[in-house]
């Protein structure tokens, strides 16, 4: 539906400026590390140099004797005080904030030095002497599944996810979670298929590289602990710290600041458990400000292997699809099990598929932990299914866009995992991006050593379900409003659009609703700011709170004007009686009600989604998610066959956002995610050697630069309103990154005739594949 066919309101659908834009560009915005806090001691961390080893001894004598050192705390020290509570994590209690029995990756924290000044504590941390007893390291997912060395001696599900309980105490495995989907009989169907494609796909681990580095400060405040942290999950962190320190929730305060980017890097258990444990046990204020090099060790995107196949019949219907997915979750499960199930269930793509099988596993290895990353594991499976379907179309001699269009899920279809599609307009996304790059126009061949090609891909993702959001709204007597939510603005613009949602209901203008930065003493519970869930979930809570506020104003006005509530309307001028046309401004109404200036009227609302658990046998569910994200990308590019470089001429991305609360911010999210996806497609990866990251600095870790931008980039907003979204809206933060890498790879395939199955498509991979093609004509 075109953008302007909606009823125009006062706020929703408007391109309001970001509330924090001015402060950011002027350098006035205070990030967490810049916020005033009490004087804190600095912390430096001594990290493991071994991927897998027993800790024999940790000698801190020399470090303790150094200038400026106040205390040195080892994992064993904390373990003596906190016991097993020291193990935290969203799915499994498997993350010690300091290792105490063994180390599980190069870079794992072993001891913390507390003292005066970053330089002093860093120097002392180097003087800590650790003796290790080598254990067999596990570097690779498939070796981890097959091998006899284990990262964790036994599985320890945390209390958070009920469906992991049966895994408690399981030994001798590196597979901490497995999801299977069975729909029909894919094996039998594939045997009689007319065309089959298959492949072994690999996406390497990557890092988020937000501009702002992670930071946490913590201090005891009487019988309470206060924490100021860079986190997308203040409510989760409060619960974790309460469990860790055995405190009631009302004695743990977690304060946020706007984040300078995150992409999933600042979620769940990062620096907070260590900072809180140090502050609480040492009864002192500490701050942990990590370096860029340390940030690379804190969390990564899951590397993932997918062995997949797809088959069609003579008519071109997809009769079978299979996927065997192995997520490399590193040393800690983190949220890997969730990713394994939620991304595994769509590993065959958003298509009508008669028979489908998925096996998706979450696997421990001796690497830094993998956790959430824009897309939550979906880009990795999309890499496989969008490559497979492209080859299948080619095997049939059919246009890859047309083949997809014919097979894509439509409104009301039941997807292979059992849930009905709604508000996921893949067809419009596909048509929009192919239309934008001129898909049907003949491709003009490039000159000399250059080859031109076009590619397309679609992507599907389920919103994390079930989750909960709350909102508290204060309407101030002067008519301005203050909104209390625990959604964290990290550049996605949530403070702007949440204000727009409240303003729409209350007929307020730009700048009249202020969103309070998350603070668990003040702002109510919210599951997480992640997974593109906030616009829908928090947005709905905000809408409900605002509607309650509107109803209260109408009730007050009806009393004042002695008319029925049905006669009162709220407008931008105030409350109006439709009978008498008598108007009262909101300030007058509230002044009359309270008899004082500066007063506040408060409403609150909560919004929760529910799901139906997976069937134990088939992995299917009639309500696996509250809603779907649908997106597509199309690209025209040039491959230089001499250098192997890919130059993108035009990249078009589209996402079905239900309804754009702020079209400008939606376009920016689509564009930003697409640019991040260009990096993942072409060169962005963490390189390991024997468990050690070899490119963990910004000198060597490569991100797209201004010179890597496509000549042209076209973000397209598709709006197929969701029946229960706030004003029909859904999220958009991840949509464009999902199909990006396969769209580029499909265009490379079109240009040079080579199918790549491993990301990224570096010039070296392309040159090597071209050389092999020259000698044998194979795939890479």
Count of Cβ atoms closer than 10 Å to residue 761 Cβ? 23
Q: Which residues pair with 453 in a beta bridge?
A: 637
Among 192, 571, 579, 694, interactor with another protein by CB under 8 A: 694
- Identified binder of another protein from the candidate list 171, 283, 707, 774, rule CB under 8 A: 707
> Which range, of 128-136, 354-362, 415-423, 638-646, touches another protein by CB under 8 A?
638-646
Nearest-CA neighbor of 92 among 153, 180, 138? 153
Q: Closer to another protein by CB, 585 or 697: give it.
A: 697
Which of the stretches 71-79, 422-430, 542-550, 642-650 binds another protein when contact is defined by CB under 8 A?
A: 642-650
- Closer by beta carbon to another protein, 132 or else 701: 701
Among 36, 699, 774, 777, binds another protein (CB under 8 A): 699
Site size toward another protein (CB under 8 A) is: 29
* Residues 171-191: b if buried by 16+ CB within 10 A, e if exposed: eebbbbbbbbbbbbebeebbe
| Rounded least distance, CB 643 to another protein, Å | 5
**DSSP assignment string, 543-573:** HHHHHHHHHHHHHHHHHHHTS-GGGEEEETT
Residue placing its CB nearer to another protein in the complex, 18 or 46? 46
Which parts of 310-349 interact with another protein (CB under 8 A)? none
Q: Does 9 bind another protein (CB under 8 A)?
A: no
Minimum distance, C-beta of residue 688 to another protein, in the bound complex (Å): 11
Provide the token pair at 17: 């400026």
Q: Is 703 in the site for another protein (CB under 8 A)?
A: yes
For another protein, the closer CB: 46 or 627: 46
| Stretch of 19-27, 329-337, 577-585, 703-711 contacting another protein, by CB under 8 A | 703-711
Q: Which two tokens stand for residue 346?
A: 């769509």
> In the complex, what is the shortest distance from the CB of residue 658 to another protein, in angstroms, rounded to a whole number?
35
DSSP H or E segment with residue 272? helix 272-282
Residue appearing with tokens 């999902």: 738
447 lines the binding site for another protein (CB under 8 A): no
Whether 174 and 138 have beta carbons less than 8 Å apart is answered as yes
Judged by beta carbon, residue 590 or residue 637, the one nearer another protein is: 637
708 binds another protein (CB under 8 A): yes
Q: Is 395 in the site for another protein (CB under 8 A)?
A: no
- The residues in 292-311 that bind another protein, with binding defined as CB under 8 A, are 293
Q: What is the C-alpha to C-alpha distance for residues 349 and 340, in angstroms, rounded to an integer?
A: 15
Dihedral over alpha carbons 422, 424, 425, 426 (to 10 degrees): -130
- Residue 349, both tokens: 């793509």
The span of 419-427, 483-491, 578-586, 758-766 binding another protein (CB under 8 A) equals 758-766
| Nearer to another protein among residue 418 and residue 679 (C-beta) | 679
Indicate which residue of 734, 764, 772, 776 is catalytic.
Answer: 734
With respect to another protein, which residue has the nearer C-beta, 376 or 683? Answer: 683
128 in Cβ contact with 72 (< 8 Å): yes
Whose Cβ is closer to another protein: residue 628's or residue 683's?
683
- 767 touches another protein (CB under 8 A): yes
- DSSP character at residue 94: -
Element (H, E) at 121: helix 118-126
Kindly state the smallest distance separating residue 120's Cβ from another protein, in Å: 11
Residue owning tokens 């970053």: 118
- 43 strand-pairing partners: 114
Which residues touch 574 (CB under 8 Å, ≥6 apart)? 583, 584, 585, 586, 588, 589
Q: Which two tokens stand for residue 162?
A: 């009920």
Considering just the CA atoms, what is the radius of gyration of the chain in Å? Answer: 27
**Interface pick for another protein out of 173, 196, 282, 695 (rule CB under 8 A):** 695
DSSP state of 420: B
Closest CA to 323 of 497, 199, 445, 412: 199
Q: Is 734 a catalytic residue?
A: yes
The sheet with strand 102-103 has its strands ordered as 102-103, 53-59, 129-134
Q: Tell me, residue by residue from 80 to 119, as one string, x for binding to another protein by CB under 8 A and - for no binding.
A: ---------------------------------------x
Shortest distance in whole angstroms from residue 695 CB to another protein: 5
By CB under 8 A, residue 704 contacts another protein:
yes
Q: Pick from 122, 139, 548, 552: which binds another protein (CB under 8 A)?
A: 122
Q: Shortest distance, CB of residue 512 to another protein, whole angstroms?
A: 39
What is the Cα–Cα distance from 734 to 683, expressed in whole angstroms? 20
Site for another protein in 664-683 (CB under 8 A): 679, 682-683
Closest distance between another protein and the C-beta of residue 303, in Å? 16
Which lies closer to another protein via its Cβ, residue 596 or residue 699? 699
In the complex, least distance from residue 711 CB atom to another protein, rounded to whole angstroms: 13
Give φ, ψ of 423 to 5 degrees. Answer: 55, 50
State how far the Cα of 111 lies from the Cα of 546, in Å rounded to an integer. Answer: 49
d(C-alpha 696, C-alpha 297), whole Å: 8
- Point out the residues that are catalytic: 734
Q: Which residue ranges make up the site for another protein (CB under 8 A)?
A: 119, 122, 291, 293, 642-645, 679, 682-683, 687, 694-695, 697, 699-700, 702-708, 762-764, 767-768
């Amino acid at each position: 539906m075109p953008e302007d066919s909606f009823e125009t309101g006062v706020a929703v659908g408007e391109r309001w400026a970001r509330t924090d834009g001015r402060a950011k560009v002027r350098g006035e915005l205070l990030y967490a590390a810049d916020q005033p806090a009490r004087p804190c001691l600095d912390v430096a961390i001594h990290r493991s140099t071994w991927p897998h080893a027993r800790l024999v001894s940790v000698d801190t004598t020399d470090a303790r004797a150094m200038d400026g050192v106040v205390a040195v705390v080892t994992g064993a020290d904390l373990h003596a005080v906190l016991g097993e509570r020291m193990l935290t994590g969203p799915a499994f209690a498997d993350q010690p904030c300091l290792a105490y029995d063994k180390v599980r990756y190069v870079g794992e924290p072993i001891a913390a030095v507390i003292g005066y000044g970053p330089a002093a504590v860093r120097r002392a941390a180097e003087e800590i002497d650790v003796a290790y007893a080598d254990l067999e390291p596990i570097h690779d997912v498939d070796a981890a599944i097959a091998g006899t060395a284990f990262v964790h001696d036994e599985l320890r599900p945390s209390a958070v996810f009920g469906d992991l309980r049966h895994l408690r105490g399981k030994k001798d495995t590196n597979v901490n979670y497995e999801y299977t989907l069975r729909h029909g009989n894919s094996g039998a169907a594939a045997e009689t298929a007319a065309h089959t494609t298959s492949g072994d796909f690999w996406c390497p681990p990557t890092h988020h590289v937000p501009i702002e580095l992670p930071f946490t400060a913590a201090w005891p405040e009487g019988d309470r602990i206060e924490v100021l942290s860079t986190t997308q999950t203040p409510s989760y962190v409060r619960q974790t710290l309460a469990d860790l320190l055995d405190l009631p929730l009302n004695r743990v305060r977690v304060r946020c600041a706007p984040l300078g980017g995150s992409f999933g890097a600042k979620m769940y258990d990062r620096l907070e458990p260590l900072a809180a444990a140090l502050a609480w046990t040492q009864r002192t204020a500490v701050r942990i400000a990590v370096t860029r090099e340390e940030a690379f060790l804190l969390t990564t995107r899951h590397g993932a292997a997918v062995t997949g196949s797809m088959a069609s019949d003579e008519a071109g219907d997809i009769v079978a699809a299979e996927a065997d997915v192995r997520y490399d979750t590193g040393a800690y499960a983190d949220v890997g099990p969730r990713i394994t199930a939620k991304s595994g269930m769509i590993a065959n793509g958003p298509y009508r598929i008669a028979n489908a099988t998925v096996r998706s596993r979450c696997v421990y290895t001796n690497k830094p932990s993998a956790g959430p990353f824009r897309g939550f594991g979906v880009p990795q499976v999309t890499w496989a299914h969008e490559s497979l379907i492209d080859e299948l179309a080619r095997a049939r001699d059919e246009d890859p866009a047309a083949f997809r269009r014919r097979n894509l899920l439509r409104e009301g279809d039941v997807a292979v995992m059992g849930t009905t599609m709604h508000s996921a307009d893949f067809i419009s996304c596909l048509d929009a991006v192919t239309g934008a790059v001129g898909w049907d126009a003949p491709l003009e061949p490039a000159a000399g050593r250059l080859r031109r090609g076009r590619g397309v891909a679609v992507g599907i993702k389920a919103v994390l379900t079930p989750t909960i959001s709350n909102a508290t709204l204060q309407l101030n007597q002067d008519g301005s409003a203050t909104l209390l939510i625990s959604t964290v603005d990290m550049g996605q613009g949530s403070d702007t659009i949440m204000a727009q949602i409240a303003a729409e209901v209350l007929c307020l203008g730009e700048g009249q609703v202020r969103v309070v930065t998350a603070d668990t003493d003040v702002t109510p519970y919210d599951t997480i700011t992640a997974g593109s869930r906030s616009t829908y979930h928090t947005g709905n809570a905000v809408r409900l709170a605002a509607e309650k506020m509107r109803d209260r104003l109408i009730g007050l006005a009806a009393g004042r004007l002695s008319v029925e509530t049905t006669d009162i309307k709220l407008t931008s001028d105030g409350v109006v009686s439709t009978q008498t046309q008598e108007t009262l401004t909101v300030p007058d109404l509230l002044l009359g009600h309270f008899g004082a200036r500066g007063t506040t009227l408060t409403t609150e609302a909560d919004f929760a989604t529910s799901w139906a658990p997976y069937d134990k046998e088939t992995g299917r569910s009639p309500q696996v998610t509250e809603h779907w994200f649908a997106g597509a990308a199309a690209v025209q590019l040039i491959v230089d066959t001499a250098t192997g470089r890919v130059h993108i001429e035009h990249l078009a991305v589209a996402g079905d956002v239900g309804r754009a609360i702020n079209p400008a911010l939606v376009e920016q999210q689509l564009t930003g995610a697409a640019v991040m996806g260009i990096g993942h497609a072409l060169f962005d990866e963490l390189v390991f050697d024997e468990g050690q990251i070899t490119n963990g600095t910004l000198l060597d870790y490569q991100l797209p630069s201004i010179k890597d931008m496509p000549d042209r980039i076209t973000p397209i907003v598709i709006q197929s309103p969701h029946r229960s979204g706030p004003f029909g809206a859904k999220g958009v933060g991840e949509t464009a990154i999902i199909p990006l890498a396969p769209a580029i790879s499909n265009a490379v395939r079109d240009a040079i005739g080579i199918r790549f199955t491993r990301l990224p498509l570096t010039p070296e991979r392309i040159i090597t594949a071209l050389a092999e093609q020259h000698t044998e004509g194979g795939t890479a």
